[in-house]
Amino acid sequence: MLTKEKAKEILSNFPQKNILVVGDLILDKYLWGEVERISPEAPVPVVDVKKETVNLGGACNVAWNLSTLDVKTTIAGVVGKDENAKILKNLLDEKDINTILIEDENRPTTEKTRVIAVSQQLIRIDKESKEKLNDEVRNKLIKELETQAKNFDAVIISDYGKGVISRQVIEVFLNKDIPVFVDPKPSNFEFYKDITIMTPNRKEAYELVKAEKDTPLEEVGKTIMEKLNLKNLLITLGGEGMALFTEDKITKIPAKARKVFDVTGAGDTVISVLTACRVSGANWEESAILANLAGGWVVGEIGTVAIDRETLISLVP
């Protein structure tokens, strides 16, 4: 059982911890407007934009979650040589997130724009490259990570499959015995051998090992662990909570029933809380219980939000 006292003790260590996030950086943009007419050019609505907002997305959302928990947070990734790179850097600075940004003039800063009118998303427009990094950019990133890796208690790999994460990136940390926490992209399965833990959702877990739909979850989890030589695995199960696989057992952690407003970003919250707790003296089960409480809380809030320590402690029964 995890008591409130124990949770407080674990969370009190967060401000002394240094966590690095490496992954695909995304700038989320929102154009809020009104539809007044159908375009004379094509059968589509014309949106009159009233407001534009920007948000940290992808790996940046993981970093934002950590910094909101008062963890000393650094993010590493690749941006384009463009205006969005500056916007992203400013947002990260505002949230007290240290940055290791490698500029690549051959790709844009990943941008996802949603056009929202009459309270509904009309379209999403993505600007991105999913190509692997070229040798020069990749080497620059690796060199930087090699130099700075030892400053961190753990690294979170936030792989959205846009090309920043490679086996080489992960090996930088494995070679230095730094715990590696991974939110995986199933198609990059072979990158994740020997890592500390990964946190796929149910769909990703099945995709990782190309399991049939009727395969029991326990079997899927065990296969992932065997194939990748993992000692730990956390499969998130949406409204059903999560399943924690360790060397000797499987623990089901049920979700607290909550009215769901916005499920986006729950996975980012889970890996952030899990990592921060684990490096702060919690065991795997305690870390997963706290991550589950945090995940359940964020889906009940409107919009993508991050949880702070006080709120997280208040959720512990």
- Cβ distance to ligand ATP smaller for residue 30 or 174: 30
> Contact region for Mg ion (CB under 5 A) — 151-159, 188-196, 243-251, 264-272?
264-272
Nearest to 167 by CA among 151, 185, 147: 185
Could you give the C-alpha distances from 26 to 13, 19, 30, 138, 272, in angstroms and in order?
29, 19, 13, 18, 17
Interaction residues for ligand ATP, span 241-260 (CB under 6 A): 241-242, 255, 258, 260
- Cβ distance to ligand ATP smaller for residue 26 or 117: 26
φ and ψ of 106, to 5 deg: -95, 0
* Residue 266 is a binding residue for ligand ATP (CB under 6 A): yes
* Residue 45 is a binding residue for ligand ATP (CB under 6 A): no
- Cβ distance to Mg ion smaller for residue 61 or 109: 61
* Residue 299 is a binding residue for ligand ATP (CB under 6 A): yes
The CA distance from 218 to 169, in Å, is: 30
Establish whether 126 is a catalytic residue. Answer: no
* Residue 313 is a binding residue for ligand ATP (CB under 6 A): no
Ramachandran region, residue 109 (left: φ > 0; alpha: ψ -120 to 50; beta: rest): beta
- Cβ distance to Mg ion smaller for residue 172 or 243: 243
Show the DSSP H helices in the chain as ranges. 4-11, 59-68, 83-94, 135-148, 167-174, 202-208, 217-228, 266-279, 284-299, 309-315
* Residue 23 is a binding residue for Mg ion (CB under 5 A): no
- Number of residues forming the site for Mg ion (CB under 5 A): 1
Token representation of residue 2: 């995890």
Of 28, 159, 183, 268, which one is the catalytic site residue? 268
The CA distance from 236 to 234, in Å, is: 6
The CA distance from 72 to 77, in Å, is: 17
* Residue 267 is a binding residue for Mg ion (CB under 5 A): yes
The CA distance from 46 to 26, in Å, is: 27
**Of residues 44, 175, 239, 303, which one binds ligand ATP by CB under 6 A?**
239
Beta bridge partners of 98: 74
* Residue 124 is a binding residue for ligand ATP (CB under 6 A): no
Beta carbon of residue 256, minimum distance to ligand ATP (angstroms, whole number): 6
196 binds, among ligand ATP, Mg ion, none (CB under 5 to 8 A by kind): none
- Cβ distance to Mg ion smaller for residue 169 or 205: 205
CA dihedral sign of residues 21, 300, 242, 207: negative
> Contact region for Mg ion (CB under 5 A) — 29-37, 169-177, 214-222, 262-270?
262-270
> Contact region for ligand ATP (CB under 6 A) — 77-85, 162-170, 213-221, 294-302?
294-302
- Cβ distance to Mg ion smaller for residue 77 or 267: 267
The CA distance from 65 to 312, in Å, is: 12
Beta carbon of residue 94, minimum distance to ligand ATP (angstroms, whole number): 22
272 binds, among Mg ion, ligand ATP, none (CB under 5 to 8 A by kind): none
Q: Beta strands 18-23 and 72-80: pairing type?
A: parallel
Q: 3-state DSSP helix/strand/coil percent for the chain, to nearest 5?
A: 40, 30, 35
Applying CB under 5 A, which residues contact Mg ion?
Answer: 267
Q: Which residues are catalytic?
A: 268
Applying CB under 6 A, which residues contact ligand ATP?
Answer: 201, 236-239, 241-242, 255, 258, 260, 263-268, 270, 292, 295-296, 299
